[in-house]
Structure 1
Amino acid sequence: MSYVAAVDHLYARGLELAPDPTAPVGTRRKFDLEHMRILSRALGDPQKNFPSVLIAGTNGKGSTAATLASILTTAGYRTALYTSPHLSRVNERIQISGESISDEDFARLYFQVDSAAEHLVAAGELPQPPSFFETLTGLAFLHFSGDAYTGSAPVDIAVLEVGLGGRLDATNIVDPLISILTDISLDHQDYLGDTITEITREKTGILRPQGTLVTLPQHPEANQAIGEAAAMLDLHAISAANYIPTAEKLLHPEPGTTGTAPGVNLPRNRYTISVDGQALHVDSPLMGQHQQRNIALAVAAAEELRNCKGYNRDKSNSKSYEIPNAAIEDGIRKTLWPGRLELVSLSGSAPLLMDVAHNPAGAWTLRAVLAQLPEETPRTLLFSCLRDKDLREMSQILLPLFDRSSPDRPKDHIFLAPINSPRAASLEELSEAAEALEIPVEVSPTLAEALAQARAVTPLDGLILATGSVYLIGELRPLALNLSTEEETRRA
């Protein structure tokens, strides 16, 4: 069967949180981790063939995963990376040492998973076919576990990003060497709970008795819930706080920038920390002060993985991983995680800054970044988001920064555009959110037209910002990169 057939068949299952068209209105799929275990047993329990690190949180887990995977790859280990969602192609979610799974391997393994699922449903062992995410997780675990067809061996280690929550997430059938909790805030309340305490308890479901946890101090409610779980499970808990640069370093950062364009100068994360009593120079392409927390988590996890005296000696880590400080430095520098404060120069127009901020916490982080730009820089916002996100709060956070009816921002514009997702907020819903704030916006019928209009009205010394959803950036990024290529060709 072909790759196209596999992808079409996969998407016919519906995306992770898309409404089920066969279910009564107002109901949602209930997840049961035992269903994932049943599917995995039918596949030979591939997740038992490789050690893993499991990462949960609301924001930052993808950046942390990408940074840690880059460090491990640079150290010479065949490293798997499983993330979600993807930007452009579903293959991006399943990588080994920086290479996405091939179309051929994806198709072959997809139909292996699908065939096993069909037999389980027919035998009454599963009540329904696995979800989009459960299917992809089974596929990824097969790919990571080694393949007799291709002659590949199991990966040395897999870095796995939880899809949703933690306790019931399909990835949670692994027995991780280390569990990492990134920053936790309100998101997916319909599934995880209405408070940070409830959400944190779902995410601490990835922890194991006498296991190892790497995290950072954060919201008081999250801290308390994490502390309660750590005490109950007798965890070896590690704080990554020592790997965040000091206030002095933040006031006097090392020179260098990542994003530079007319009117835009975004500081690169360059600073020095101490690891095992030695200076370690951080130079990350991931912009924004918030990334310092994600980098710190990755560094702490890497240090623990090389610690043969830790709690992991009975979990395939008796000899530890050899990860010198030089590999940590180089891995951080080589990290690739597109769509996160990614600045692209466009031919004949203002540059485009893309960020996947998809919830209120992400919007506040983005707002802090914008505060670092010159106040006089003309700015255009290209915005859209999903219906199940807090559109009202995200609008309140971001839209006033681009309010051209304000005397301070007469050259600013806001364009609303549709995105290709069954969960997408409609143009009417987006417009109503802006109207409630009495902020003028313009509506575009397509994302491509919104980008064209934004380029036309934004001065060359201004900035176009696209944000609000991973899906928006996933659609927009190929358009932007084509325009960027034109710019490079013109300069050459």
Structure 2
Amino acid sequence: MTEDAETVYQALLGRIGEGAPRRRLAPTRRVLELLGDPQSAFPIIQIAGTNGKTSTSRITESILRAYGLRTGLFTSPHFVSFTERISIDGEPISDEAIAANWDDILPYVEMVDAELEAADEKRLTFFEVLTVLAFASFADAPVDVAVIEVGMGGEWDSTNAADAAIAVFTPIGMDHAAQLGNTVAEIARTKAGIIKPGITAVTAPQSAEALAEIERAAELSEATLVRAGTEFDLLDDRVAVGGQLITVRGRAATYDELYLPLYGDHQGVNAAVAIAAVESFLGGGAIPLSAEPLGDGVGTATSPGRLQLVGTDPTILVDAAHNPHGAEALVDALGRYFDADEIAFVVGVLADKDAAGILATLSPIATRFHLTQPQSDRSIPFEDLTSIALAVGGVEADGYERLEDALEDARTWAAAGDKRLVVVTGSIVLGGEAAAFADDQGWKP
């Protein structure tokens, strides 16, 4: 019998990784069928997009839980601990539960592995098996509703083996071009594949080309499309201590001055999308949400690794921006929510990301770059990332093989002056490592 989550994680790591997804749904569906279709035991809100998926998923789950529903939440990648990816009722799944569910699904996973190998196909991937594990865990809990974040793309992502009641789209931009397409329209077309016949789809503000693909998919599926700026909107957001106050025009009512403990205008947009999704789920968009649970749900939402404070004196933030669009949101948020004259960015990027675009976006507000690498076989080596930063130009750039050294030097620099800030960004993997190191060093009382 499996004893803990680490054993499960190591078994998953032995499979094809998340950076090389398979464009297929049949193997995931086959395992789920053998398990009795656990994904059909609860309604699903499925969330796709380029940026903001995790934050929107977490805000949506928090509101639903405030309504007294037992929730499941599936997000990726994890920030610090593997069990963060599968949460039940607001808490990462326990070692005992994940081990028990792993033991339940493993014989069927191995059965499908054998079928695939007999057909000269690759066995189930890390993310395919993880998706099955999440669905099985939610059915076992059991949950009343699950919020499921798409891993990559949408149409052929393993999470799409389930039929969602609500499909949600956060802003779509360029990312994972090698897997999803070379234009925003191509990427949006793949993501729009989560829209199933007759359901409700909710979308954040989109570029014209992305919105056209979502509208086309909704029309073909005879789905109800709920658009930001038309059926709902973020009317106002104001800086507040520890976050912001937002006013949202929902589908059924306007919700005034909700406290959101997250920084950044983009988080206000994410919250508005989450509110519209919950309205659509609970009352078909026709019934206003009750003030107390809505306020509690929005007011207790968390999103680790999104402008997260991990150190004080000097201030050190971690942000998961991993593409130019995310870096733009980070730059905007830093300018509005933080009073800093100089900023050191500690940056590490995975090889399938637009590192030059990220650095070019950050450079106008950067005083210095500390270039390093996450502990991943997909990382851009720190020497190469330093060369990219020097080519971008305009900012002093130093390379570090170890994140710890990059952080220590940045922290020393920040402590030597007034109104200096350190921001770790470029990869959620790097952010998780930085948060763990800062916690170990006691940088935040």
Question: What is the TM-score when the length of structure 1 is the normalising length?
Answer: 0.84
Residue 61 of structure 2 is aligned to residue 69 of structure 1: yes
d(CA) in 1 for partners of 2:338, 2:261: 21
Which residue pairs with 1:15 in the alignment?
17
**1:309: how far off?**
8.2
d(CA) in 1 for partners of 2:386, 2:285: 57
**1:108: how far off?**
2.5
d(CA) in 1 for partners of 2:52, 2:29: 27
Residue 102 of structure 2 is aligned to residue 110 of structure 1: yes
| Runs of 5+ consecutive residues of structure 1 not aligned to the other structure | 19-28, 147-151, 259-267, 311-319, 403-411
**1:66: how far off?**
0.3
**1:256: how far off?**
2.4
Aligned counterpart for 1:244 among listed residues 213, 233, 236: 233
Residue 445 of structure 2 is aligned to residue 454 of structure 1: no
d(CA) in 1 for partners of 2:76, 2:338: 34
Query: Number of aligned pairs?
Result: 436
Cα shift readout 1:371-426 (whole Å, capped 9, x = no counterpart): 33678612211111011101121121113432xxxxxxxxx332111211111001
**1:363: how far off?**
0.9
The answer to whether the Cα contact below 8 Å between 1:117 and 1:129 also exists between their aligned partners in 2 is no
Aligned counterpart for 1:398 among listed residues 362, 375, 395: 362
My pick for the range that moved more, 277-286 or 159-168, is 277-286
d(CA) in 1 for partners of 2:10, 2:319: 28
1:95/1:128 CA distance change after superposition, 3 Å: same
Which residue pairs with 2:391 in the alignment?
436
The answer to whether the Cα contact below 8 Å between 1:75 and 1:323 also exists between their aligned partners in 2 is no
Which residue pairs with 1:165 in the alignment?
153
**1:65: how far off?**
0.6
Counterpart secondary structure, 2:147: strand
Return the letter of the residue paired with 1:213: A
Which residue pairs with 1:182 in the alignment?
170
Residues 87-126 of structure 1 aligned to structure 2 (within 5 Å): 87-123=79-115
**1:106: how far off?**
1.5
Residue 205 of structure 2 is aligned to residue 217 of structure 1: yes
Cα shift readout 1:129-172 (whole Å, capped 9, x = no counterpart): 211111111111111012xxxxx4x2100000000000001110
Cα shift readout 1:264-283 (whole Å, capped 9, x = no counterpart): xxxx2203335534544311
d(CA) in 2 for partners of 1:280, 1:399: 36
Return the letter of the residue paired with 1:479: F
Cα shift readout 1:153-208 (whole Å, capped 9, x = no counterpart): x2100000000000001110111111111100010011111001110010010001
Larger CA Rg, structure 1 vs 2? 1
Aligned counterpart for 1:270 among listed residues 236, 239, 245: 245
Which residue pairs with 1:417 in the alignment?
372
The answer to whether the Cα contact below 8 Å between 2:47 and 2:149 also exists between their aligned partners in 1 is yes
Residue 26 of structure 2 is aligned to residue 34 of structure 1: yes
Which residue pairs with 2:8 in the alignment?
6
Counterpart secondary structure, 2:209: helix
1:309/1:8 CA distance change after superposition, 3 Å: closer
RMSD of aligned Cα (Å): 2.2
Residue 330 of structure 2 is aligned to residue 366 of structure 1: yes
d(CA) in 1 for partners of 2:292, 2:123: 46
1:373/1:157 CA distance change after superposition, 3 Å: closer
The answer to whether the Cα contact below 8 Å between 2:204 and 2:270 also exists between their aligned partners in 1 is no
Aligned counterpart for 1:256 among listed residues 223, 240, 248: 240
d(CA) in 1 for partners of 2:73, 2:303: 12
Cα shift readout 1:312-353 (whole Å, capped 9, x = no counterpart): xxxxxxxx9x9523211110001121110112343xx41101
Counterpart secondary structure, 1:245: strand
1:363/1:308 CA distance change after superposition, 3 Å: closer
The answer to whether the Cα contact below 8 Å between 2:47 and 2:169 also exists between their aligned partners in 1 is yes
Which residue pairs with 1:137 in the alignment?
131
Return the letter of the residue paired with 1:351: T
Counterpart secondary structure, 2:188: helix
1:345/1:109 CA distance change after superposition, 3 Å: same
1:89/1:362 CA distance change after superposition, 3 Å: same
d(CA) in 2 for partners of 1:106, 1:440: 46
Counterpart secondary structure, 2:283: coil
d(CA) in 2 for partners of 1:309, 1:443: 51
Which residue pairs with 1:480 in the alignment?
438
Counterpart secondary structure, 2:396: coil
1:376/1:180 CA distance change after superposition, 3 Å: closer
1:293/1:277 CA distance change after superposition, 3 Å: closer
The answer to whether the Cα contact below 8 Å between 1:280 and 1:329 also exists between their aligned partners in 2 is no
Residue 182 of structure 2 is aligned to residue 194 of structure 1: yes
Aligned counterpart for 2:195 among listed residues 200, 207, 228: 207
Residues 326-337 of structure 1 aligned to structure 2 (within 5 Å): 326-337=292-303
Cα shift readout 1:199-243 (whole Å, capped 9, x = no counterpart): 001001000122111113310110111121122222111124365
d(CA) in 1 for partners of 2:323, 2:402: 22
1:145/1:351 CA distance change after superposition, 3 Å: same
Aligned counterpart for 1:426 among listed residues 376, 381, 404: 381
The answer to whether the Cα contact below 8 Å between 1:280 and 1:325 also exists between their aligned partners in 2 is no
d(CA) in 2 for partners of 1:218, 1:455: 38
d(CA) in 2 for partners of 1:362, 1:486: 26
Aligned counterpart for 1:354 among listed residues 314, 318, 336: 318
d(CA) in 2 for partners of 1:274, 1:400: 34
1:222/1:12 CA distance change after superposition, 3 Å: same
Return the letter of the residue paired with 1:90: F
Counterpart secondary structure, 1:113: helix
Aligned counterpart for 2:261 among listed residues 282, 285, 288: 285
d(CA) in 2 for partners of 1:8, 1:175: 29
1:277/1:189 CA distance change after superposition, 3 Å: closer
